[in-house]
Amino acid sequence: MLTCREVMHPTTTPLYADEPLGKAIDFIMERHMGLVPVVDRQERFVGFLSGERLMRALLPKHLTMVRGLDRMGYLRESREELRERLDELALRPISAVMESRAEVVYPDTPLIEAHTILADTQFVVPVVDPASGRLLGAISFFTILALLRGEPCWSDRLEHEHSAGKDA
Amino acid sequence: MHGADDVVMFGMSPLWLSTAIFVAAYAVLLTERIHRTVVALLGAMAMVVSGILTQDQAIAGVDFNTIALLAGMMVIIAVTRRTGVFEFIAIWAAKRARAEPIGILILLALVTAVFSAFLDNLTTVLLVVPVALLIVDKLKVSPYPYLFSQILAANIGGTATLIGDPPNILIGSATGLSFNDFLLQLGPIALLLLVLVLLMFYGIWGTSLKTTPELKARVMRFDERGSLRDRRLLRQSLAVLGLVILGFVVGEHFAIAPGTTAMSGAALLLLLTGLGQDRRGQAEQVREALEEVEWSALFFFIGLFVIVHGVQATGLLERLAAGLMGVTGGDPMITAFTTLWLSAAVSAVIDNIPFVATMIPLVETMEAGLGGAAAAEPVWWSLALGACLGGNGTLVGAAANVMVAGLAERAGTPISFARFLLIGMPVMIASVALANVYLYWRHFL
């Protein structure tokens, strides 16, 4: 039986939930990553920060709050107004913007569980230690397809290119 | 129905059992620990299961005119809301004030007062307050004057018409007092109170609400036309809304009750929006419109009607009415003024809907002792004015207040109970006192 342990890509993250979002934005822009796991100070997985969540947080809060406005077709904003909101956003903690309702799996969980989550709700499924909740790795459709095709997964390639770029 | 001496469940007399169910239901409603619809339905169920009312009697106790009026207006507003016309008007008003903070405060309060006279208060604040918060955010001024003025304007505006506030809907439906009766009796005092409240806001915040020309330019850049989403639907909705209001005005001459008018309007609007669509499209339109109906509010009313009918059937309300008549000596003026202040005081702290639903059969019972329907009319206006204006007293005085508080909190500017009390309570006391003078002038001078 194929388990998550065999498929997962070992993952670490530099993003802690209590850090300012500005650090996360720097990281995302540097790595061109659309989805980054977030951990607490005990390295336990606590959520994902995604490009979607960032864009949502950058909208006027009156549009995104519960029972707020449906649309804002009348708003005509300047770059300066958007920039002001981004500056305010950068000071908020990552935990205020991240998606904390992500489903997780354990290393011994059958792969079909992670596969089902990928098919239904998430782009990436974190693999955590069942006892401590620490983030061990992640499974995405890339890791599954890369395993089946015997190729290094996308994040490995990116990591490789990144370090190659730095060396150069 | 049972007489007071019959014995139903648990060996208790129907009078005491119905009183126990009534008190228990209202006590749980007060705690707000269980959703009010569930409480009302459980109370209604208890009235039937205990044998106080048969199912037929319980159904007969439901005022379907009120239910139809509420449901019909909910459908019309849900469809009209999708057009973006309400945001259009709010932004248009803000720009007419040249983005001047105090001008925006006054014009948005006027918009809210007019909307809430013709729509329900909850929908009104839900439509206007987020726009107001967005504008004050752009102007970088304190949101509190705007939030407070929105609450006060919604409650005062709702006082003006039969359809403006649920207490008025209940009273109009029970008494047969028409849309025009409400407008002519309550419209002038509501208008006067609104003007005075806006003058007060101007006096308090007229000079302190300041912003910069750059920030005003941000609001002036808003293009209100961008909020209009579906021009065809807009024309249809506004035409139907206009027809429905016309129907309320002329309905009494054709013996057409407001519930029929609102439901007819809802059906007509659903017909118009479905024109030119295939069966699936029509089904989708109907489903979307009905999804917006606040079914929990409608079932709350149904449960409440049955509970009140239960205590009415067993004679509790008759006894309470006799007690109240003893206090007021059967004098219409003293009864009216007592009702006014009692309603305001109660409505400031608890939901005014169950209170008014209970007071209606009570006042109906007192009518003969007061000298007939004509002599009792000022008591009805007192009940309406007290229940609606009382909502301004505290942050929990009306559903619209709670909604505004929720929106404010989610926007990061929570309103504290005490902070609102400092404005709301004096406004409530002053407006009820003015309403008292007004009632005296109109009916007893």
B267 contacts: CB under 8 Å, gap ≥ 6: none
CATH number for position A94: 3.10.580.10
B73 contacts: CB under 8 Å, gap ≥ 6: B119, B120, B163, B244, B262, B266
Strands A45-50 and A9-10: unpaired
Q: Maximum CA pair distance of chain B?
A: 76
CA separation for the pair A97, A61 (Å, rounded): 12
pLDDT digit string, tens, across residues B36-81: 899 999 999 999 999 999 999 999 999 999 899 989 999 998 899 8
Residue-range definition of the domain harbouring residue B48: 28-60+84-228+294-444
> Which of A69, A77, A80, A89 is best to mutate for the B interface (most B CBs within 10 A)?
A69
Residue-range definition of the domain harbouring residue A91: 4-167
Name the percent of chain B lying above pLDDT 70: 98
Q: How confident is the model at residue B292 (pLDDT cuts 50, 70, 90)?
A: confident
Q: How far is A162 from chain B (nearest CA, A)?
A: 40
* pLDDT surpasses 60 at B82: yes
Which residues in chain A touch residue B222, judged by CB atoms under 8 angstroms apart?
74-76
C-beta atoms of A75 and B88 within 8 A: no
Q: Mean pLDDT score of chain B, rounded to an integer?
A: 91
CA separation for the pair B187, B200 (Å, rounded): 20
CA separation for the pair B21, B198 (Å, rounded): 43
Q: How far is B223 from chain A (nearest CA, A)?
A: 5
Which residues in chain A touch residue B412, judged by CB atoms under 8 angstroms apart?
61
Q: For residue B76, is it within any domain? A: no
| B37 membership: H or E segment, kind and range | helix B36-49
Domain count for chain B: 1
Q: For residue B427, is it within any domain? A: yes
In the prediction, which pLDDT does A167 show? 52
φ, ψ of residue B62 to 5 degrees: the values are: -80, 130
Short-list B32, B21, B62, B24, CA closest to B399: B32
Residues of chain A with pLDDT under 50: 168
pLDDT digit string, tens, across residues B395-441: 988 888 988 998 899 888 999 899 999 999 999 999 999 999 999 99
Q: Which residue in chain A has the smallest CA separation from B221? A: A76
CA separation for the pair A73, A93 (Å, rounded): 29
Strand ranges of the sheet holding A135-140, from the earlier edge strand across to the other edge: A9-10, A135-140, A124-128
**Residues in a beta bridge with A3:** A110
Q: For residue B273, is it within any domain? A: no
Asked if B220 is an interface residue toward chain A (Cβ–Cβ < 8 A), one would say no
Q: In this structure, are residues B388 and B155 in contact, taking their beta carbons and an 8 Å threshold?
A: yes
In the prediction, which pLDDT does B6 show? 55
Asked if B218 is an interface residue toward chain A (Cβ–Cβ < 8 A), one would say yes
Tokens of A10: 């070992």
Q: Cβ atoms within 10 A of the Cβ of B402, count?
A: 17
Asked if B222 is an interface residue toward chain A (Cβ–Cβ < 8 A), one would say yes
Tell me the DSSP string of B212-261.
-HHHHHHHHT--GGGG---HHHHHHHHHHHHHHHHHHHHGGGGT--HHHH
Tokens of B329: 């000596």
Per the listing, tokens 């752009």 go with: B138
Domain count for chain A: 1
φ, ψ of residue B253 to 5 degrees: the values are: -75, -20
| A136 membership: H or E segment, kind and range | strand A135-140
Q: For residue B420, is it within any domain? A: yes
In the prediction, which pLDDT does A168 show? 46
Q: For residue B130, is it within any domain? A: yes
In the prediction, which pLDDT does A115 show? 96
**Facing residue for A61 by CB, picked from B87, B138, B412:** B412
Asked if B294 is an interface residue toward chain A (Cβ–Cβ < 8 A), one would say no
Q: Which residue in chain A has the smallest CA separation from B82? A: A70
Between the alpha carbon of residue A126 and those of residues A44, A53, A110, A130, A151, the distances in Å are: 11, 18, 14, 12, 21
Q: Cβ atoms within 10 A of the Cβ of B444, count?
A: 12
Q: How confident is the model at residue B318 (pLDDT cuts 50, 70, 90)?
A: confident
pLDDT digit string, tens, across residues B140-170: 999 999 999 999 999 999 999 999 998 999 9
Q: In this structure, are residues B299 and B42 in contact, taking their beta carbons and an 8 Å threshold?
A: no
Q: How confident is the model at residue B4 (pLDDT cuts 50, 70, 90)?
A: very low
ipTM of the complex, rounded to two decimals: 0.74
Short-list B385, B361, B375, B360, CA closest to B328: B375
B240 contacts: CB under 8 Å, gap ≥ 6: B76, B265, B268, B269, B272
Q: For residue B372, is it within any domain? A: yes
> Which of A74, A84, A85 is best to mutate for the B interface (most B CBs within 10 A)?
A74
Chain centroid to CA B283: how far?
A: 31
